[in-house]
Structure 1
Amino acid sequence: MKNWLYKNLPVIFQELLISIFNILAYRKRYGQNYKKYRQVFLRNRTLAFHELLEIQKNRFGSFLAEAIRNSKYYADYEEVSIEDIERLPIIKKEILRNNINQIVTLKKHSAVVSKTGGTTGKSLEVLYTIDNLQERFAQLDDFRNRFGYELGKRTAWFSGKSLLTDRDINKKIFWKTDHLHNVRYYSTFHMNEKYLEFYVENLIKYKPEYLVGFPSTMMEIAKFGLKMKVSMPKGIVKAIFPTAETVTSEMRNSIEAFFQANMYNQYASSEGAPFIFECIEGNLHLELQSGVFEVLDENDQPTDIGRLVVTSFTTCGTPLIRYDIGDRIILDTVQKKCNCGNNNPIVKEILGRIDDYVYSPETGKINLGNVSNTLKDVKGIVQFQVVQNSITELELFLVVDKEMFDEDNKNVFLKNWRDRVGERMKLNVHVVKNIEVEKSGKYRLVKNNIKDLVI
């Protein structure tokens, strides 16, 4: 009924409803404790490394004790110090999903509900306390504020909100605006070659100071704009904040070139992972006051490059203790210091989803960054996606510019793949009109359907 009513209202009333929805959401996010946390994070920006470790140590002890006290699942855990964290078991995603009712510490009616994207076909509901929600937004806004952002500044937002009607699409309008808060929401479900010019034209006309959202969507708009030899006037956009997806070098290069502004990456998750933020020097920092980060190898031993296991201090409603989140990162050397003033440890690279890889029996796993780089020296591919349904075959779906993409470019693309997967895999190329995004609005470069067959 709500859906039907929204779709049949005039645009002015649809946008009024969006503003009202945001007012209600912002009341929870930006209450009194939010302001307190903003002051804390502002004060803590330049703490020494040993001071950050002390905050992390104290918060870990308090968080673990509270989880043992309030969660049925954790009731039998022992209280250990952060130095002995490896004595606690690692929680996999399936364990979290199968035991969620025992893990949560509050009832849904008194909680803020967050749903994970479910791009693997399985979504999950986690519960936040309002206090934790306000702390998370305070830390996120403290990060963005380093580049001038505050709520109310003109922002273009690219997320999984489904706000358009058939009437909008027929009129070539792919956005809705919250005029009260100065946010324009652009649809991520219509990244089609025939629509991209309308996104480009409107963004240039709207002149957002900040961009937030899925980098894959921003990249498609940017690549189209650059192809048409247009770009955002320099100085309009102050900063770009990607969310929810791993940022590849191709994404960053295209987006920064079109919008003529720097991108500042961040890492978190719908489940409530602690934060990793990029600073003005281009370095990624683990935010120790938000949680514990363990980088482990296949034998659960500490390493510099491996899977990320997190304990998040802002998940009192659904405690995450040694949670194997399914991502991989590379730590930088302990000795490396950053000139930005942030003394948190530095991450060399966020490799992204463990499942976002292609597997070759000949060469092993090819990660997301390497998949993205198969476009090197190739002209005419507007978008592509690789789907693996078999150990011995890959399906390569391409959206191409027919004037530029010729046999030579196809051969370069295939050679790039051969360099990564070897000579024996079968590569099936499919030229298609468009590649659908997921239900969440995200675009997946890699769809690995054989991960259960790979050891």
Structure 2
Amino acid sequence: MKEKVYKILPDFLQNCMVYLYNRQAYKRRYGGEYKHFRKEKKENRTLSLEELKEYQKNRYSEFIEFVIQNSEYYKKSIGNIENVALIENISSLPIVNKEVLRNNIETITVKTSEKLEKSKTGGTTGKSLEVKFFFRDSQERFAFLDDFRSRFGYELGKKTAWFSGKSLLTDRDIKKKRFWKTDFINNVRYYSTFHIKDNYLKYYVENLISYAPEYFVGFPSTILEIAKYGIANGYNFPENTVKAVFPTAETITEETRYYIEKFFKAKLYNQYASSEGAPFIIECEKGNLHLELQTGVFEVLDENDKPAKSGRLIVTSFTTAATPLIRYDIGDSITLEEPDKICSCGNNNPLVKEILGRIDDFIYSVENGKINLGNVSNTLKDTKGIIRFQAVQNKLEELDLYVVIDKEIYSKQIEKVFIGNWKDRVGNAMKIHLHYVNEIPVEGSGKYRIVKNNIKDLL
């Protein structure tokens, strides 16, 4: 009913409805224990590594004990493990993947009379998942995220351009080339991530220049396309306008960082979490990524489930008491920095060398094995005129590349370089089918996927 009413309202009243929705959301988000958590997060910024580990150890014990008492699934699966609440025994607990979580969601979620908040994970793999949170856990997560962003001057009320999976536009908006809605009270303009097309990008760029946001938040793939369009078409984004870019939900590649920072003349500060409630990894002002031990436990394991410097990420998150994440295989992989490396920013949490992104985001070559997202994005090296592309693998020895080009710049020679870059990565045995298209649609969540691997279950 609300959606039907929204669609028939004029633009001004739609903006008012966006504000009213936000007001309710902010009331939940910033109520309860939020202020207490903000104070705690600020105080914890300069804890020593030993103090952080002690904090993590205590939170882990409290979390495991609560879960065993209140989750039917975990009471049965880990309740009888000796000294189960000691963090040094974490490897004795079973690893849970997304399918296990999905298939057992009713018994994993704790039994409580409290009202719980619902959160749906993205469905880019074809299946979404609904998890639940206690409001205090959501408040703690937002407190940590706001504390991170506040280090670069951000607070609610600062003028912000937001790019997320909200579907807010009507046919009238499209006809008027208006690809945004604005919460004028909180100074947030929400830009659609579903209309990133060449003939629309002009309006995004020009409106962003006019709106002059101090901060960008949201899907980096959308911000990247806007930045690349702006550069290619000679737009000059005003200097000293944007103070920071905070990407969400997607892996950051070197290309993404380069173009966004170049066009918007601002630093991008990465942060890693998930809609399921994964603990946080954040980037500091020195450009280093930190495992935030006060938010959970991070394990990096190889294919044999043994600790590794680079491998798949297994997380236990302290802010997921309602739908607990305990040794959860989140589907991403990271590489740790050398343990003796210390950052000069004052954050003493361990360092991450690289977030490699989703394990599913790879192309598999019979000759060379897995080609990860970073190497896929680097196939653009020494090319010009490729606006965007998507790699889709439906067969083991074949690869489909969907490419949007600038016909005035692109040439047969560039095509040869692009294919050569792919051959360097996948080998010569794989058949590469090149498809030139006018656009590549985003997923239903509003995200743009550079890789779609449809044979991962066969590997």
Contact map agreement 2:32 2:136 (CA 8 A) in 1: no
Report what 2:144 is aligned to. 139
CA distance in structure 1 between the partners assigned to 2:48 and 2:39 by the alignment: 18
Report what 2:64 is aligned to. 64
Candidates 348, 353, 368, aligned match of 1:348: 353
- Using the TM superposition, give the Cα deviation of residue 32 of structure 1 relative to its aligned residue in structure 2, in angstroms: 3.5
Query: After the TM superposition, which segments of 4 or more aligned residues of structure 1 sit over 3 Å from their partners?
Result: 106-109
Matches within 5 A, 1:7-406: 7-76=7-76, 77=78, 78=81, 79-106=84-111, 110-406=115-411
CA distance in structure 1 between the partners assigned to 2:363 and 2:17 by the alignment: 43
Paired residue secondary structure (1:180): coil
Quick one: structure 1 residues 439 and 107, their matched pair in 2 at CA, closer, same or farther if it must change by over 3 Å? Answer: farther
- Using the TM superposition, give the Cα deviation of residue 424 of structure 1 relative to its aligned residue in structure 2, in angstroms: 1.0
Could you tell me which amino acid in structure 2 is paired with residue 315 of structure 1? T
Paired residue secondary structure (2:282): strand
TM-score of the pair, normalised by structure 1 = 0.99
- Using the TM superposition, give the Cα deviation of residue 152 of structure 1 relative to its aligned residue in structure 2, in angstroms: 0.5
- Using the TM superposition, give the Cα deviation of residue 324 of structure 1 relative to its aligned residue in structure 2, in angstroms: 0.5
TM-score of the pair, normalised by structure 2 = 0.98
CA distance in structure 2 between the partners assigned to 1:404 and 1:426 by the alignment: 26
Candidates 404, 424, 427, aligned match of 1:422: 427
Could you tell me which amino acid in structure 2 is paired with residue 12 of structure 1? F
Could you tell me which amino acid in structure 2 is paired with residue 39 of structure 1? K
CA distance in structure 1 between the partners assigned to 2:210 and 2:444 by the alignment: 29
Could you tell me which amino acid in structure 1 is paired with residue 188 of structure 2? V
2:458 matches 1:453: yes
Contact map agreement 2:137 2:321 (CA 8 A) in 1: yes
- Residue segments in structure 2 that go unaligned for 5+ positions in a row: none
Could you tell me which amino acid in structure 1 is paired with residue 121 of structure 2? T
> Could you list the per-position Cα deviations for residues 126-178 of structure 1 after superposition, in whole angstroms to 9, with x for gaps in the alignment?
00000000000000000000000000000000000000000000000000001
2:457 matches 1:437: no
Paired residue secondary structure (2:33): helix
Paired residue secondary structure (1:31): coil
Could you tell me which amino acid in structure 1 is paired with residue 315 of structure 2? V
Aligned residues: CA RMSD: 0.9
- Using the TM superposition, give the Cα deviation of residue 307 of structure 1 relative to its aligned residue in structure 2, in angstroms: 0.2
Number of residue pairs matched? 454
Contact map agreement 1:108 1:127 (CA 8 A) in 2: no
- Using the TM superposition, give the Cα deviation of residue 105 of structure 1 relative to its aligned residue in structure 2, in angstroms: 1.1
Could you tell me which amino acid in structure 2 is paired with residue 73 of structure 1? Y
2:451 matches 1:413: no
> Could you list the per-position Cα deviations for residues 33-89 of structure 1 after superposition, in whole angstroms to 9, with x for gaps in the alignment?
110000001001011000000000000000000000010001132323101100110
- Using the TM superposition, give the Cα deviation of residue 2 of structure 1 relative to its aligned residue in structure 2, in angstroms: 2.3
- Using the TM superposition, give the Cα deviation of residue 106 of structure 1 relative to its aligned residue in structure 2, in angstroms: 4.2
- Using the TM superposition, give the Cα deviation of residue 107 of structure 1 relative to its aligned residue in structure 2, in angstroms: 5.9
- More deviation in 27-36 or 320-329? 27-36
CA distance in structure 2 between the partners assigned to 1:107 and 1:16 by the alignment: 35
CA distance in structure 1 between the partners assigned to 2:421 and 2:377 by the alignment: 10
Identity of matched residues, % = 62
CA distance in structure 2 between the partners assigned to 1:300 and 1:108 by the alignment: 37
Report what 1:5 is aligned to. 5
